């Protein structure tokens, strides 16, 4: 085959004499060398290390990285560069490798379209382009690859319909993966187009519609069928799967399938699966499938390991025959309409590790036979109507890690034998009718790592001292019981504790100082007790405390609004008549001054007046003299130099900055704004810097911006705020020198047209937003001077090498005095939005700013909410303003809650992992929904109804933890969705007005 494509800069290589390459190479291999060099020319240079020996003319092509040749070494037959972090586009020149058998470019960062020229590789047997950033349609020309056995294009951004000829012409295909894209239309199979050799069909997470085609039944060798997370409909494919005896994995979750006879009969489907003797996993979750579980389920393959039937409309009881599936390790029947008693025969499932039966209507007692399931690690029976007592036999479950029995009707006491479950990490018995004391053996479960929740029961007696042994637990909730006695100081030994709730009991005595010394405590609620004494100063000095509630006790004494208490309002202290202090809304403490002490202030006042008259007049004359003759003591240059020296910043001259940035050329320009431009550069010591040069033509406005940004950067220190290297100030030149962030701004990643997209997945985006929330929460609540950022948006969020987010650009920030947002430190900068400069950028500006209100922390919360909605929807707020004629908040709210499915699905398609990382799609879907709800709350019209940044930071941290550890946090997330999120403000859904 002749040359098909060569860029102009490759053509000169065609005239190089053959003696410049290895003498072993013949004409054919030399031609393929040139094609490979053309392929490499489309790859971004920072990835060339993986192809470093491709540039060597002395190395035979067959010895290049990722290349394999035939025995005669005259043809390239394999190109495997998978997982090489290659960036760029796939060159059509690769089609000149006409003898290629294997082409694997998976797990890279290739962009652009799939070259149609790949259809010329007629000998290709394996084509894998999965886990890249490819866009556009699947080329119909791929149907010319009649010898193709393996085709994988999954986890890209492909759209359009699946070409019909692929299923018609590729009769040898055994593996087809088009999953995790945005493909639409029907599955293109009919009786004229069959894939009889097909063993793996992966189409999950697309936009496919219609019924599963009957022609798929001809693929009788199918072992793996994954169609979940689409919009497929119709009855469950009984006739199709009945002809797949080798089927091992069947995933149909999260579509719109129904059962037979008008969604009332599941028996035909389970009967059809009886022929699949190798079936190992069955997933039908989230389809709203109706009907009862038939007894024939017990006749399914004895190799079945997992069954997911959750989130459906399945009713009736659990058939005892399910116990025949002796190799089952996971059974999930949660969120259905099941009733009756739980069959004790489940104990025959000797290999069962996880059992989910929550959110149904099961009644009767918990079978004591559960104690005979030796490997049971998770048991979730929450949100049912179970009664009776907790079985003592649970003590036999040595592998039990999570026991969730909340929201039932359980009676009796907590069995002390639960203390033998030495691997227990979560114990939740809340919202039942359990009475008696907390057993000391249960309180001493040192294995608890996540949380202990015994709230909303009828527990009595004191808090056991043994609770102090839980030195790894993150949360303890004993609220809404009848506990009495004092709070043991020994709780200070729970050093990992982040949340402690003892509210709604009859506890007496003082609040121990040791509670405030817990190093990670974030939330404390001791409201509605009988506590006395003063609130410990140790709590006020806590660096982590974000939520407290001391209401309705008998506390007394002075409460300061300093330290951790600076962000708490009167609602945290209600019902304590003897409290006084500087908390806003709290009565002031009476001042007691002996009469003889009044003489001292008078004396000091007179003395100060004499000193002022003696020394002040000469200083005033000196100042007047300098002003009269144009002498400026403290001009711009001198002021900037003083500031630099005082902060001990290194000196970098204007000339050094010119050299570092190449003279501030357009090629080094990386950003522009109202007040100037940002350039990238490299100092002589190889320090990579970003230089923010302020536009001197904007006069006093730019001077104020420069001063404000310097003021914020010098007074704040936080891992999620940009750090200043130094400043450079001359009469006609002012610049801030900052570290260059290797991953640019968040805006570059959200909008690839603005720069190179790195394909951030949902976990990374949530982590970034969590970082931003932490940084802004520090500015609002914890920094030495409260700061209102006023311009929170993606372009002002920078990402370092580890994708840690740093908030930057404080040019229009406001420094707030104390806790009063009406008083600004720099009154020259305290203009409102009616003074000609709106506080922020269009689309992110809080609506109250348009009414002339001053900048406030609630305005930053609004901007953060817009940021969340922007990330989830993929819509820039200004685009929505212009095209939809509404704010992003209004647009999302118009879709909430019943029209969010397309939004959520699109988000998951954009932000699925770009690697082979395994992730729980259900958890990801739930997190996206909660992000939407949080964004709607933050962007409410009334500023007073928005949460604080501290609340937001806590929620974002929860989402981040959920995505980073899905296996350990799924149940925490399910519980969190059923409980209030922002304390007294109520749950998320109730706040969306």
Q: Give the C-alpha separation, 296 to 555, whole Å.
A: 64
H helical segments located in 206-328: 238-241, 260-263, 267-273
Phi, psi of 382 (to 5 degrees): -70, 160
The answer to whether 692 is a known ligand-binding residue is yes
DSSP secondary structure, 971-985, as one string: HHHHHHTTS-SSGGG
Q: Counting beta carbons within 10 angstroms of the beta carbon of residue 811, is it exposed (0 to 12), middle (13 to 18) or buried (19 or more)?
A: buried
Residue 831 has a pLDDT of 33
Residue 823 has a pLDDT of 45
Sign of the alpha-carbon torsion through 593, 595, 600, 602: positive
Residue 973 has a pLDDT of 42
Cβ 381 vs Cβ 358: under 8 Å: yes
Angle formed by the axes of helices 921-938 and 966-976, to 10°?
40
User: How does strand 805-807 pair with strand 733-739?
Assistant: unpaired
Residue 705 has a pLDDT of 61
Angle formed by the axes of helices 949-964 and 762-777, to 10°?
150
Structure tokens, 863: 């901007």
With vertex at residue 396, the alpha carbon angle to CA 394 and CA 401, rounded to the nearest 5 degrees, is: 65
Cα dihedral angle (516, 518, 524, 527), rounded to 10 degrees? -50
Residue 459 three-state SS? strand
Q: Give the C-alpha separation, 783 to 712, whole Å.
A: 10
Residue 860 has a pLDDT of 92
With vertex at residue 846, the alpha carbon angle to CA 845 and CA 848, rounded to the nearest 5 degrees, is: 130
Residue 904 has a pLDDT of 84
Residue 755 has a pLDDT of 39
Q: Give the C-alpha separation, 224 to 276, whole Å.
A: 12
Q: Fold match between 462-590 and 636-740? A: no
Consecutive 10-residue averages of pLDDT for the chain (993 residues):
36 37 63 89 67 78 90 90 88 93 92 94 95 93 94 94 90 93 92 88 94 93 94 95 95 94 96 93 93 95 94 95 94 95 93 94 95 92 95 92 94 93 90 95 86 94 93 90 95 89 96 90 94 92 88 93 86 91 87 54 52 46 35 39 53 84 80 72 86 65 62 72 81 82 87 56 92 90 80 89 85 57 42 41 77 80 94 83 69 79 82 60 82 90 84 87 59 39 36 43
Q: What is the pTM of this model?
A: 0.62
Residue 592 has a pLDDT of 61
Residue 990 has a pLDDT of 37
Distance from CA of residue 325 to its chain's centroid?
Answer: 37
Structure tokens, 645: 């020296």
DSSP secondary structure, 773-790, as one string: HHHHHIIIIISSSEEE-S
Cβ 475 vs Cβ 498: under 8 Å: yes
With vertex at residue 969, the alpha carbon angle to CA 967 and CA 970, rounded to the nearest 5 degrees, is: 75
CATH 3.80.10.10 is the classification of domain 462-590: yes
CATH 3.90.1200.10 is the classification of domain 636-740: no
Containing 313, the helix (H) or strand (E) segment is strand 313-316
Tell me, yes or no, if 791 is annotated catalytic. Answer: yes
244: Cβ–Cβ under 8 A, 6 or more apart, which residues? 217, 219, 220, 222, 225, 275, 276
Locate the domains of the chain by residue range: 462-590, 636-740
Considering the candidates 310, 791, 926, 951, report the single residue annotated as catalytic.
791
């Amino acid at each position: 085959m002749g040359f098909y494509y060569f860029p102009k800069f490759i053509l000169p290589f065609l005239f190089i004499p053959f003696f410049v390459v290895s003498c072993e190479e013949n004409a054919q291999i030399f031609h393929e060398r040139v094609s490979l060099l053309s392929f490499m020319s489309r790859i971004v240079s920072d990835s060339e290390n993986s192809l470093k020996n491709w540039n060597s003319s002395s190395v035979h092509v067959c010895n290049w990285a990722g290349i394999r040749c035939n025995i005669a070494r005259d043809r390239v037959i394999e190109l495997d560069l998978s997982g090489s972090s290659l960036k760029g586009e796939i060159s059509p020149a690769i089609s000149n490798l006409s003898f290629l058998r294997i082409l694997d470019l998976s797990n890279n960062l290739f962009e652009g379209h799939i070259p149609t020229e790949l259809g010329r590789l007629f000998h290709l047997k394996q084509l894998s382009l999965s886990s890249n950033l490819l866009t556009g349609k699947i080329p119909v020309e791929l149907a010319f690859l009649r010898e193709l056995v393996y085709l994988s294009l999954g986890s890209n951004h492909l759209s359009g319909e699946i070409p019909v000829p692929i299923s018609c012409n590729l009769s040898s295909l055994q593996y087809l993966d088009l999953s995790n894209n945005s493909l639409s239309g029907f599955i293109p199979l009919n009786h004229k187009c069959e894939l009889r050799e097909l063993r793996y069909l992966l189409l999950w997470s697309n936009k496919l519609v219609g019924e599963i085609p009957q022609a798929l039944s001809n693929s009788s060798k199918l072992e793996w069928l994954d169609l979940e997370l689409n919009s497929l409909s119709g009855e469950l494919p009984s006739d199709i799967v009945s002809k797949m005896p080798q089927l091992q994995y069947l995933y149909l979750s999260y579509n719109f399938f129904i059962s037979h006879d008008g969604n009332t009969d599941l028996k035909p489907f389970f009967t059809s699966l009886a022929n699949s003797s190798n079936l190992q996993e069955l997933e039908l979750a989230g389809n709203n499938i109706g009907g009862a579980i038939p007894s024939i389920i017990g006749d399914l393959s004895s190799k079945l390991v997992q069954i997911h039937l959750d989130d459906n409309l399945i009713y009736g009881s659990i058939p005892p025959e399910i116990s025949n599936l002796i190799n089952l390790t996971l059974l999930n029947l949660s969120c259905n309409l099941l009733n009756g008693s739980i069959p004790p025969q489940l104990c025959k499932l000797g290999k069962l590790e996880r059992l989910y039966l929550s959110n149904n209507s099961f009644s009767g007692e918990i079978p004591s036979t559960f104690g005979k399931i030796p490997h049971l690690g998770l048991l979730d029976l929450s949100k049912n109507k179970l009664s009776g007592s907790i079985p003592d036999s649970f003590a036999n479950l040595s592998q039990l890690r999570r026991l969730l029995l909340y929201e039932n009707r359980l009676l009796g006491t907590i069995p002390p034998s639960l203390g033998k479950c030495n691997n227990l990490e979560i114990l939740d018995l809340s919202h039942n009718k359990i009475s008696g004391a907390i057993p000391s053996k249960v309180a001493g479960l040192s294995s608890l790592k996540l949380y202990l929740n015994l709230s909303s029961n009828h527990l009595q007696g004191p808090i056991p001292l043994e609770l102090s042994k839980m030195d790894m637990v993150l949360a303890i909730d004993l609220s809404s019981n009848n506990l009495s006695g004092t709070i043991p100081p020994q709780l200070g030994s729970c050093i990992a504790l982040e949340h402690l709730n003892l509210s709604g009991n009859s506890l007496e005595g003082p609040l121990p100082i040791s509670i405030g010394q817990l190093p990670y405590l974030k939330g404390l609620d001791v409201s509605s007790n009988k506590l006395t004494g003063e609130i410990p100063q140790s709590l006020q000095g806590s660096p982590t405390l974000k939520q407290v509630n001391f209401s309705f006790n008998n506390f007394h004494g002075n409460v300061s609004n300093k330290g951790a208490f600076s962000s708490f309002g009167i609602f945290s202290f209600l019902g304590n008549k003897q409290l006084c202090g500087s908390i806003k809304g709290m009565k002031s403490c009476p001042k007691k001054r002996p009469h003889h002490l009044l003489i001292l202030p008078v004396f000091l006042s007179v003395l100060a007046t004499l000193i002022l008259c003696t020394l002040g007049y000469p200083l005033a004359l000196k100042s007047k003299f300098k002003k009269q003759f144009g002498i400026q003591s403290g001009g711009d240059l001198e002021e900037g130099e003083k500031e630099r020296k005082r902060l001990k910043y290194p000196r970098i001259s204007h000339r050094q900055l010119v050299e570092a940035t190449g003279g501030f050329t357009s090629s080094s320009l990386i950003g522009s704004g109202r007040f100037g431009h940002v350039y990238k550069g490299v100092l002589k010591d190889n320090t990579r810097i970003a230089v923010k040069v302020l536009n001197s033509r904007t006069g006093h406005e730019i001077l104020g911006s420069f001063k404000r940004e310097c003021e914020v950067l010098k007074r704040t220190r936080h891992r999620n705020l940009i750090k200043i290297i130094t400043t450079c100030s001359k009469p006609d030149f002012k610049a801030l020198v900052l570290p260059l962030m290797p991953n640019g701004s968040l805006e570059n990643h959200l909008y690839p047209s603005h720069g190179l997209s790195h394909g951030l997945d949902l976990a990374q985006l949530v982590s970034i937003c969590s970082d931003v929330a932490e940084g802004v929460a520090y500015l609002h609540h914890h920094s030495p001077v409260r700061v209102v950022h006023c311009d929170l948006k993606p372009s002002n969020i920078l990402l370092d090498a580890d994708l840690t987010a740093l908030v930057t650009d404080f040019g229009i920030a406001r420094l707030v005095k104390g806790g009063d947002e009406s008083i600004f430190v720099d009154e020259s900068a305290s203009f409102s939005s009616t003074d000609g400069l709106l506080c922020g950028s269009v689309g992110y500006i809080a609506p109250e700013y348009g009414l002339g209100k001053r900048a406030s922390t609630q305005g930053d919360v609004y901007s953060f909410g817009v940021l969340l909605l922007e990330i989830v929807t993929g819509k820039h707020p200004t685009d929505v303003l212009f095209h939809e004629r509404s704010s992003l908040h209004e647009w999302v709210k118009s879709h909430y809650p019943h029209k969010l499915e397309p939004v959520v699905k699109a988000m998951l398609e954009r932000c699925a992992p770009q690697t082979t990382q395994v992730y729980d799609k259900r958890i990801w879907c739930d997190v996206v929904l909660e992000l939407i709800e949080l964004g709607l709350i933050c962007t409410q019209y009334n500023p007073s109804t928005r949460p604080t940044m501290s609340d937001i930071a806590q929620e974002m941290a929860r989402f981040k933890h959920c995505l980073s550890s899905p296996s350990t946090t799924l149940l925490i997330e399910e519980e969190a969705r059923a409980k209030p999120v922002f304390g007294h403000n109520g749950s998320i859904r109730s706040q969306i007005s």
